[in-house]
Amino acid sequence: MGIDTTPIDRAPELVLATDLDGTFLGGNEPQRRALYDELLDRADEVMLVFVTGRDLDFIADLVSQPGMPRPDMIIGDVGTTVVHGHDFSPVEEVQSWIDRRWDDSNEMVLDLLRDEPGLELQPIMGSRRVSYYYDPTTLQRSTIAKVEDAGLDVIISAGVFLDVLPKGIAKGPTLLRVIDAFELSDERVLVAGDTLNDLSLFHTGLQGVAVGNSEPGLVDAIADLPTVHHSELPGCAGITDAIDHFGFFARTA
Ligand SMILES: [Mg+2]
C-alpha cells in the first residue's frame, strides 16, 4: 500500500482531531495544562491530530515548547497540507489528492483577485491555498462568485479570514481522507473547533465539540447537527468536557 504506519501500534481509544487557535490553544492556563497532561499521560491511547489554518512553521514552533503534546498527524493550511507529526514528512496518499485538486492555482488566484475591494493578502502563502484578510464592510459577493466560477472554494471565518482552497478541500474532507488512509475507526474520533473554518469538521458526521468560545456563526450552523456537542466551557476545558460527554476513556478510566 505504501502508507506509512502511524506512531501508534494499536487502535487508539481516542483520535482527537482539533483546531488550534481558540480550541486546543484556548481556555485558561490551568484548563490547558489539565488537558495536555491527560493527553501526555495517555499518549499510548490517544492519536492527536492538529487541524488548523496555521502553517507548518507555526506548528513546529508550537510543538517545540515544553509541555506541549506532540501531534501524531498535522492537517495544516486549512486542510491543504497533511504531514506526519514526528518528522513533518508528507502523507503522500492524501497530499497528492489535494495537489491534483489545486493544480498550481496560486498565480491564477492572485491575478483574479488583485483588484477586488476588501481583500488584503496575508503574508503567509501556502502552496495549495491563497489566504486573505477581508473587510466585512467592503467585501463583495461578486468576488466570492468569481472564485467559485473559477472552480475553487472560498471559506470565510472569524470575520477576518478569507481562504481560497481547492474545490471540495477543507479541514473535514481532508480528515476523512486521513481516517480512511490509516483505517481509523469513526467512533473513536472527536473533532473540535471554534470558528466557521471548522464547520466542515462538524459536517463529517463525526462526534464533535464546538467549544464555549465559538463564534456565533458556527454556533448557529451546528445547532441542528446531532453529533456535535456545544460545550459551555472554553477551549481545552470544552474538549475535556466533550471527552467526558461522549464517554472516551470510559473503558480505561
Ligand atoms: Mg480556531
Please write the tens of the pLDDT for every residue from 164-182: 999 999 999 999 999 999 9
Q: 9: pLDDT confidence band, cut at 50, 70 and 90?
A: low
Ligand 1 center from residue 193 Cα (angstroms): 6
pTM across the whole model:
0.90
Q: Is 253 contained in some domain?
A: no
Classify residue 251 by burial, with Cβ atoms within 10 Å: 0-12, 13-18, 19+: exposed
Classify residue 39 by burial, with Cβ atoms within 10 Å: 0-12, 13-18, 19+: buried
d(CA 56, CA 74): 8
State percent of the chain over pLDDT 70.
Answer: 95
94 has a pLDDT exceeding 90 = yes
Residue 210, CA distances (Å) to 18, 50, 57, 139, 206 in order: 10, 15, 26, 27, 12
Q: Which domain holds residue 27?
A: 14-99+169-245
Q: Is 230 contained in some domain?
A: yes
Model pLDDT, residue 167? 95
Residues 147 and 197 in one domain: no
Ligand 1 center from residue 108 Cα (angstroms): 28
- Within 8 A by CB and 6+ apart from 86, the residues are 7, 70, 72
Mean pLDDT confidence for 174-191: 96
Ligand 1 center from residue 155 Cα (angstroms): 13
Residues 148 and 218 in one domain: no
Ligand 1 center from residue 194 Cα (angstroms): 5
Residues 126 and 216 in one domain: no
Model pLDDT, residue 157? 87
Q: 125: pLDDT confidence band, cut at 50, 70 and 90?
A: confident
C-alpha cell at 199: 464547520
Model pLDDT, residue 129? 94
Residues 21 and 90 in one domain: yes
d(CA 79, CA 176): 11
Model pLDDT, residue 2? 44
Model pLDDT, residue 106? 95
Ligand 1 center from residue 26 Cα (angstroms): 8
Q: How many domains does the chain have?
A: 2
Residues 49 and 123 in one domain: no
- 192 and 19 in contact (C-beta within 8 Å)? yes
Q: Is 213 contained in some domain?
A: yes
Residues 175 and 227 in one domain: yes
Ligand 1 center from residue 142 Cα (angstroms): 27
Residues 188 and 241 in one domain: yes
Q: What is the CATH number of the domain that holds 189?
A: 3.40.50.1000
Residues 32 and 141 in one domain: no
Residues 89 and 174 in one domain: yes
Model pLDDT, residue 200? 96
Q: Is 87 contained in some domain?
A: yes
Ligand 1 center from residue 22 Cα (angstroms): 5
Residues 115 and 150 in one domain: yes
Mean pLDDT confidence for 210-238: 97
Ligand 1 center from residue 195 Cα (angstroms): 5
Residues 142 and 48 in one domain: no
* Per-residue burial over 150-173, b = 16 or more CB atoms within 10 Å of its CB, e = otherwise: eebbbbbbeeebbbbbbeebbbbb
Q: Mean pLDDT for the chain?
A: 93
Q: Is 215 contained in some domain?
A: yes
Q: Is 8 contained in some domain?
A: no
Mean pLDDT confidence for 42-64: 95
Ligand 1 center from residue 214 Cα (angstroms): 8
Mean pLDDT confidence for 125-144: 93
Residues 47 and 65 in one domain: yes
Q: Is 151 contained in some domain?
A: yes
The number of residues making up the chain comes to: 253
- DSSP state for residue 187 in the 8-state scheme: G
* CB half-sphere exposure, 90, CA atoms < 13 A: 11
| Torsion angles phi and psi, residue 207, rounded to 5 | -60, 140
Last residue of a domain, one of 137, 166, 195: 166
Ligand 1 center from residue 1 Cα (angstroms): 34
Last residue of a domain, one of 128, 143, 166: 166
C-alpha cell at 247: 464517554
DSSP string for 92-143: HHHHHHHHHHH-S-HHHHHHHHTT-TTEEE-S---TT-EEEEE-TTT--HHH
Lowest mean pLDDT across 126-130, 147-151, 233-237: 126-130
Model pLDDT, residue 54? 93
Q: Is 218 contained in some domain?
A: yes
Last residue of a domain, one of 113, 147, 166: 166
Q: Which of 39, 35, 15 is nearest to 27 (CA)?
A: 35
